[in-house]
Every structure is written in C-alpha cells, then in structure tokens.
Amino acid sequence: MTEEKVQSNFIRTIIAKDLESEKHDGKVTTRFPPEPNGYLHIGHAKSICLNFGLANENEKGTCNLRFDDTNPEKENIEYINAIKSDVEWLGFNWEDREFYSSDYFEKLYNFATQLIKNGKAYVCSLNADDMREYRGTLTKPGKPSPDRDKSIEDNIELFESMRAGEFEEGTHTLRAKIDMSSSNMNLRDPAIYRIKKVHHHRTGDKWCIYPMYDFTHCLSDSIENITHSICTLEFEDHRPLYDWFLDELKTECHPQQIEFARLNLEYTVMSKRKLMKLVEKNLVEGWNDPRMPTISGMRRRGYSPASIRNFCERIGVGKKESRIEFGMLEEKVREDLNENAKRVSCILKPLKVIIENLPEDEVIELSTQNHPQKPEMGERIVPFSRELYIERDDFMIDPPKKFFRLGPGKEVRLRFAFFLKCIDYKTDENGEVTELRCTYDPETLGGKAPDGRKVKGTIHWVSAKHALTARVNLYGMLFSDINPEESGDFLENLNPESIEVLDDCKIEPSIKDAEKETTYQFERQGYFCIDSNDDANGLIFNRTVSLRDTWAKIKKG
RNA sequence: UGGGGCGUCGACAAGCGGUAAGUCACAAGGUUUUGAUCCUUGCAUUCAGAGGUUCGAAUCCUCUCGCCCCAGCCA
C-alpha cells in the first residue's frame, strides 16, 4: 500500500535546521530505548516509527535499538526477545546496532568515579526514608545530606566498597552533588547508583550496584553518538540533569534531548504496569490477547504493520497531550486491508436455505474474483448447491421498507451467483426462523436478469455441504470508558462484552489450507485474521475490524 | 501554592508576521453483484480569553483562565 504522506512536525523541523547548519555532519542518529520489563504497545509503536522513521528518511540516518536494562529486578530475556520480534515485525531494522545499557556498565562506573574525583558526586548513607525527608518538597528546599562534604578520597573508597559488595542494599547510594534547593526536584542531588544484589540477565553477578536512568541514559546516548535523543514529555524536567552529566564529564558527544507527547488511545490503557496487571490477573489471555493494545496483540488481531505505521504518521508528533479516537486507528487498518485482503464468504450466524428447484446432487462451480477492484489478485472456484447458509440478519419475516435483503416473497442477488427468491420459511416453537425455502433463477448468473427485473440487495452465502465450520472471535473495546484510568480503578471499567465467540460459523472451503495470521475480508462483514495461537483442530478467526456499516446506522435511526 | 510544559473545527494536526493545509468523524449526492470500496461537494471570518505593538497577528508583547508533569535507591 502507499505509505502516508509525511507531514511536518516540530522534531522534523529541528532536524531540518540541524542538517542545514551541518551541526552533526549531516548525520541523524536516533535510538529506540525500551526497558525490557514488559511487552511493547501501540504507544511504543509511535516512538519506534518516530525514531526509526527520522533515521530512515535521512540519508545519513541510523537508529539504534538499545535496551535500557539498568534495573535487573524487573527485566528479563523474554521481554528482550518479544521486543525485538515486535520491532522487526513493524518493519524496522537495526542491523548490527543492538545495544544494551549494561554493555556500558564499566564505562559508566568510570564516569561515576570521574564525577567523584571532580568533587561532583558523593556516597550518601541516608536510607530511603531519610533521603526523601532531606529532599524537601515542591515548595520547600531540601537540606544537604550529612555526607555531602566528605572527602574525595573517602568517597572513592566508599564507592569501591559499594561495588565490592561490602554494603547491604539500601544503605548507600552514590549521589550527584548539584543543588539541594533547586526548584527542579531532579537536581536535588539525585541518586546515580544504588546497591542491588540481584542477578542481571546479561551481566550475571558481576555487579551489585546499578546505575540509575538519568545517569545511564545521557551517557549511553553520548557513547553511541546519538544526535537527537527523543523521549516523552515527563522527562522534560530531567533535561537539565541530562545536560549536567554530559557537561560535567565533558563528553565529546552531547545529544539534544527532545520531548514529545506520548500516545493515548480511547478505550484502552497505555502503561506497561497496567497491561501487566491484566495479564497477571488473567483478565486477558496474555500479552498478545487480540484486545490488548500491545503490538503482539494487534498483530494477532490482524492489524498489518503498514496500517500501524500509517496510523503513527497520521496522528502526528507534538507536545500537546491528546487522546486519539479509536476510529482513526480502525480507518487505517481498513484502508490497508481493503487493498490487500482477499475476499471470502463466511456466514457468522447461519440460516439454512433450501433451493427447491435445484436437484440434491447438483453442484455448480462458480468462479469468483478474490478482489473486486484488483483482478491481478486472481480468482477462485466456489461451489453452489441446493442447500446454502445465509446470514440470519439477512432475512426478516416482516421487513421494513428500506430493508434490501430477504423476506417472504422477496428476491435478492446471491453474490457472484444467481437471484434467489424466498417462497416460504419455517419457524420453531419460539417463532425463531429455522429454514428458508427458496427458488433460484438459473438465467441470472452474472448478476442480471434477461427480463430486466432488478433486485436491490446482494447477500453472501455458502454451500452447506461444502462449508467448513469455524470459530470466530468478535472483539469490542477492552474498556467501556473512553479513558479507563480517569476515575478510580481502571479494572472496574473493563468491558464485560469485549469478546463474543461464535462457534458455528460457516466458511467457504477455499481457505482450507490458509496459514496462520492470514487476513481475509469476509464479504459484507469485515476483516478477519486466522488466529496464530490456533492449536490443531479447528479454524479460529479473529475479527480485526468490521466493515463500515451504513445499514446499521440507518437502523439505529 | 516552587519549577517545567501545553491550549488552532467533534478527534488529531499543519501553520512560525501577509490574511486558517491535510486526515478521521459528520452531512448531502454519484458509481457499484459487498448498504464495502471509489468519486464529488459541504463542514473554523477564526486560532483558550482580554488588552497592546503593527498597514497587517494564530504567529510578537503583557496579563488572565484552563489542563498536564515533578517530592522512586523505577524508567
């Protein structure tokens, strides 16, 4: 499909200026720096598209994949692998530039030592509670730690002891010596190393002290010669600290931190912590549940990488916090799938039709296009026989005037086949329609009647004896509230009807050997994707998104 | 109430002193063997508000209002 037209945004503007002034020799080096403590979601996709996109649209642009793995308590290898596969699936390539903050631990340690030697860092033995106490509040300045003026020699020795594992967790930290009365809380002597006697997924037991984000991030960026370090708005207050470390350590490369507004989407949550809660409490099937806003969930649901990329381009990048309408996302998937998905017939809620003027054993093989506007997508054969299934919703005993489908005595066109006229119907004891008796007109193959009579409606169908039975999962919004986290516990806003399982769907036989993750358009219904978790016996489809439904709108009034 | 940000159509979003792009939504028509797609048209005399500078302001200045973020040894 055609990629979205790029639109200007403030970061593109900054880069264009830098390019013009040759600030970085024409280079644009960005990085996508996830912490491997959960799965990636659509919010990360925005960041991925931004960082890789900016690199890709510039001649000398590259984007690194860097795992920000400085907190071994929460991080693990499962997440690393999941993240890599998600980024790759989205269509981005980091080539050999797969980095880890933990690769820089030794360098970082040396930088910290340097800071101590410059009199700009000290080992503090305040415990967590006291440190908070000393820090002051938003309106009251903090007071200096009793350890603030220890000698450089003492600090060096203490820091070495920290590394050597001579202290217990929580007893000591290394702190930057900046300004305890700064109006920016981040500058009130922030901790830069803490003791954690925890096994790290990459460095093993080599370290028992781990650097904090603020210290690690700017230096990792600098080590990798990042030109533009793009992060989200909440780090705006951290920028002075980012710059402070690099200035104090006089690094050759001093990247520019630029902050943008993270993505919020209607009817969902966008925090790893909250998504993790849904997974842990088994409120969803897992990180890749098709209702989840995770990349793996959207993938399983049938969203294409291109549709996600286009969505991210379309919503733009700015500093204004916003919440995107879900329809924006849905429209981007439809746009892509309309182009690329093969059409197929599937009856979601079957109603049996007997064609009285077609002999029991006769099978008419009809050739139909896989895509109405794209003949290059080929054709397939679909069998037509005496017993069909049509959609229950396509028949009404007492249809309103504008109902173009079937009713007693009414005639419709069967898609790609013949005209069909309903002459009778049967009901059960509850008045529920159980079967339709119809006749077909053999002269109408091709969609038109020789006598010139017209039918308004065209419905889809499937030959009963040839049909495969499939299960179809219909998904709705995961939450019933536009902003689930606004009031109280977000879990209370879960939508109890976020999934509807249809067990007896009838689908045409042509999809028999289709592979997992293939997306089809079910004619007149929507886009559906073969579940990738589908184990063995049975076809399972996930509805990616429905087709636009003008009739539903009319019906609602 | 200290500091840092942000306010342009219902939802996003360009614009950066020369007289309001685009997308989604919505509405009305047309084409159509998917009530789909596609096409055409309409949809901000106005840029949070009030003053000011200017021949000219969404863009510059001043004040006011509203919203978000910051007091982890998380990132």
pTM above 0.90, yes or no: yes
Which nt has its C1' nearest the CA of A523? B34
**Cβ A238 to strand B below 7 Å:** yes
Tokens matching residue A75: 């991080």
Which of A272, A291, A334, A524 is labelled catalytic?
A272
Tokens matching residue A364: 């008419």
A105-211 to CATH, choices 3.90.230.10, 3.40.1160.10, 3.40.50.360, 3.90.800.10: 3.90.800.10
Tokens matching residue A430: 């509850």
**Cβ A377 to strand B below 7 Å:** no
Instruction: Give A381-404 pLDDT, tens digit per residue.
Output: 999 999 999 999 999 999 998 999
What's the pLDDT score for residue A4? 76
Distance CA A114, CA A107 (A): 10
Which of A12, A97, A202, A262 is labelled catalytic?
A262
| pLDDT band at residue A232 using 50, 70 and 90 as cut-offs | very high
Tokens matching residue A493: 């806003």
What ranges do the domains of chain A cover?
Answer: 10-100+215-327, 105-211, 348-463, 468-556
Answer yes or no: A272 catalytic: yes
Answer yes or no: A35 catalytic: yes
| pLDDT band at residue A5 using 50, 70 and 90 as cut-offs | confident
User: Residues, chain A, total?
Assistant: 557
Determine whether A351 is exposed, middle or buried from the number of CB atoms within 10 Å of its CB (0-12, 13-18, 19+). buried
Q: How far apart are the first and last CA of chain A?
A: 35
Distance B46 C1' – A259 CA (angstroms):
30
Phi/psi for A435 (5° steps) reads -165, 145
Superfamily of the domain at A10-100+215-327: HUPs (3.40.50.620)
| pLDDT band at residue A537 using 50, 70 and 90 as cut-offs | low
Distance CA A128, CA A173 (A): 10
Q: Taking a C-beta distance cutoff of 8 angstroms, is the pair A456, A404 a contact?
A: yes
Instruction: Give A191-230 pLDDT, tens digit per residue.
Output: 999 999 999 999 999 999 999 999 999 999 999 999 999 9
Nearest residue for B75, CA–C1' = A213
Distance B25 C1' – A366 CA (angstroms):
39
Q: Taking a C-beta distance cutoff of 8 angstroms, is the pair A317, A260 a contact?
A: yes
Distance B38 C1' – A228 CA (angstroms):
42
Examine the pLDDT at A536 and tell me if it is beyond 90.
no
What's the pLDDT score for residue A488? 80
Residue A541's beta-bridge partner residues? Answer: A472, A530
Average pLDDT over residues A513-529: 96
Protein CB footprint (7 Å) on chain B nucleotides? 1-8, 10-16, 21-27, 33-38, 67-75
CA A504 to chain centre: 30
Which of A12, A23, A35, A331 is labelled catalytic?
A35
Average pLDDT of chain A? 96
Instruction: Give A96-106 pLDDT, tens digit per residue.
Output: 999 999 999 99
Nearest residue for B21, CA–C1' = A7
Instruction: Examine domains A105-211 and A348-463 and report if their fold is the same.
Output: no
User: What burial letters (b/e) apply to A295-309, b meaning 16+ CB within 10 Å?
Assistant: bbbbbbbbbbbbbbb
Answer yes or no: A456 catalytic: no
Distance CA A27, CA A50 (A): 16
A348-463 to CATH, choices 3.40.50.300, 3.30.70.100, 2.60.40.4070, 2.40.240.10: 2.40.240.10
CATH 3.30.870.10 fits A468-556, yes or no: no
Average pLDDT over residues A33-56: 98
